A and B are shown apart, each in its own frame.
Chain A
Amino acid sequence: MVAERVPVEATHIMMFARSIGDPNPIYYDADYAASTEPGRIIAPPTYIQASAQFDEDYPLRPKIGEPWFGSGATPTGTPPRTDGAKDSEDDGDKKSGGGNGGTLHAEQHFTYHRHIGPGDVLTPTVKPGETWEKQSRRGGKLLFSESVTEFHNQDGELMITSRGVGVRTEKPVEQDPS
Chain B
Amino acid sequence: MSLSASELNVGDSRTEVVVDNLTRTQLVQYAGASGDYNPLHTDDLFTREVAGYPGVFAHGMLTMGLTGRVITDWVGDGRLQNFGVRFVNQVWPGDTLTTTAEVTEIRDTDDGPVADFSITTVNQSDKPVVTGTASALLTP
Q: From residue 56 to 83 of chain A, which have CB atoms closer than 8 A to chain B?
A: 58, 60-62, 69-71, 75-76
Interface residues, chain A, with chain B CB atoms under 8 Å away? 12, 15-16, 18-22, 24, 26, 36-38, 42, 44-46, 49-50, 52-53, 58, 60-62, 69-71, 75-76, 94, 96-98, 101-102, 104-112, 115, 163, 171-173, 175-176, 178
B50 contacts across to A, CB distance below 8 A: 69, 71, 75-76, 97-98
State A107–B86 Cα separation when bound (angstroms).
4
Among B30, B40, B51, B123, find the residue whose CB has the most chain A CB atoms closer than 10 A. B51
Whether the pair B85, A107 counts as a contact (CB closer than 8 A) is: yes
Whether the pair A112, B60 counts as a contact (CB closer than 8 A) is: no
Closest to B29 in A: A19
Summed over the interface, the residue pairs from A and B with CB atoms below 8 Å come to a total of: 163
Whether the pair B43, A71 counts as a contact (CB closer than 8 A) is: yes
State A52–B59 Cα separation when bound (angstroms).
14
State A166–B78 Cα separation when bound (angstroms).
28
Whether the pair A24, B72 counts as a contact (CB closer than 8 A) is: yes
Which of the candidate stretches B5-13, B63-71, B100-108 sits at the interface with the other chain? Answer: B63-71
Q: Measured between C-beta atoms, what is the minimum distance from A98 to chain B in Å?
A: 5
Whether the pair A71, B87 counts as a contact (CB closer than 8 A) is: no
Whether the pair B36, A115 counts as a contact (CB closer than 8 A) is: no
State A20–B42 Cα separation when bound (angstroms).
16
Interface digits, B113-140 against A, CB 8 Å rule (1 contact, 0 not)?
Answer: 0000000000101010000000000000
State A84–B99 Cα separation when bound (angstroms).
45
**8 Å CB contact of A26 from B48, B54, B77:** B77
Whether the pair B32, A15 counts as a contact (CB closer than 8 A) is: yes
Q: Does B110 contact A (CB under 8 A)?
A: no
**8 Å CB contact of B69 from A21, A42, A94:** A21
State A80–B49 Cα separation when bound (angstroms).
13
Closest to A33 in B: B77
